[in-house]
Structure 1
Amino acid sequence: MLIELVKVAGSPGTCVLASVRTSFGQATVRWCGSPTAEPGAYHVEWTIDEAVTWGRNAQPAAGIGPGLRSDGRDVVLRGQLNVTEDGAALLELGGTQILLDLADRLPSGAAGGWVELFIEGEKAALYPYEL
């Protein structure tokens, strides 16, 4: 996924947070690239380091379409929830897929629908990569 890195805050040995912007929103998340990264465009891979529990940190979305925002200390990701044949859960977010760990089974009808995930900002991480 292509994001715009707005700014990085933190130093080596601490949790480095980044303010990032996409075409569908902005948020502050953990940055797993260089703590001295310059603002600009980066291709990144998302990871979510928190198990998804329906009704606690996952719920049906109020709208449709991808979304990204900060909500207090949480990051809210809105995307389509898909489940593979082998039971893996994926969040489709703006053309990229994020692998999710499920704490429990999803309720009937959740798969294929638009959902919002509420994840602590430090547990939503971006890993930059070169194309």
Structure 2
Amino acid sequence: MLVEVEKIASFPGSPVLAQVKTAFGRTAVRWCGDPTAGPGEYHVEWTVDEDIIWGRNAKSAVGAGPDIRPGGDCVVLRGRLNLTGDGVGVLDVDGTAILLDLAGPMPDGAIGTWVELHIERERIALYPYEL
């Protein structure tokens, strides 16, 4: 996914965070690239380092369409929930696939629908890459 990094900041005892903007939202997340990188556009891979548990950090979305926004100390990601052939969870956020570790079964009817994940910002990471 192409994101615009607005700023990168580090604070003692905490991971490097990037304030990022997309066509459908903005938030701050853990940055796993060069901590001295400047503002600009970057192609990134998103990772979620938290087990997904329906009713705890995953729920049906109120709206439709991709969304990324802050939610207190969390980041809210909205996308379509799918499963791979071998049962791995995938959140499709505007054509970008984010792999998920599902800690249990999803409720009937959740697969293929819009869902929201509420993940601590330090548990979501962006890994920049070059095309």
Q: Partner residue of 1:66?
A: 66
- AA aligned to 2:37 is A
Q: Partner residue of 1:53?
A: 53
Unaligned runs of 5+ residues in structure 2 are none
Q: Partner residue of 2:119?
A: 119
Separation of aligned partners in 2, 1:116 and 1:68: 9
Q: 1:89 to 1:12 in 2, by over 3 A?
A: same
Separation of aligned partners in 2, 1:19 and 1:95: 21
Q: After TM superposition, which residue ranges in structure 1, 4 or more long, deviate above 2 angstroms?
A: 11-14
Separation of aligned partners in 1, 2:85 and 2:14: 39
Unaligned runs of 5+ residues in structure 1 are none
CA RMSD of aligned residues (A): 1.3
In the superposition, the TM-score normalised over structure 2's length comes to 0.97
Is the partner of 1:62 in helix, strand or coil? Answer: coil
1:25-53 deviation per Cα after TM superposition (whole angstroms, max 9, x unaligned)? 00000000011110000000000000000
CA contact (8 A) 1:52 1:58 kept: yes
Count the aligned residue pairs.
Answer: 131
Is the partner of 1:86 in helix, strand or coil? Answer: coil
Percent identical among aligned pairs is 61
CA contact (8 A) 1:4 1:21 kept: yes
Separation of aligned partners in 1, 2:112 and 2:58: 14
- AA aligned to 1:99 is L
Q: 1:91 to 1:32 in 2, by over 3 A?
A: same
Q: Partner residue of 1:17?
A: 17
Separation of aligned partners in 2, 1:54 and 1:14: 28
Q: Partner residue of 1:103?
A: 103
Q: What is the correspondence of 1:22-41 to structure 2 with a 5 Å cutoff?
A: 22-41=22-41
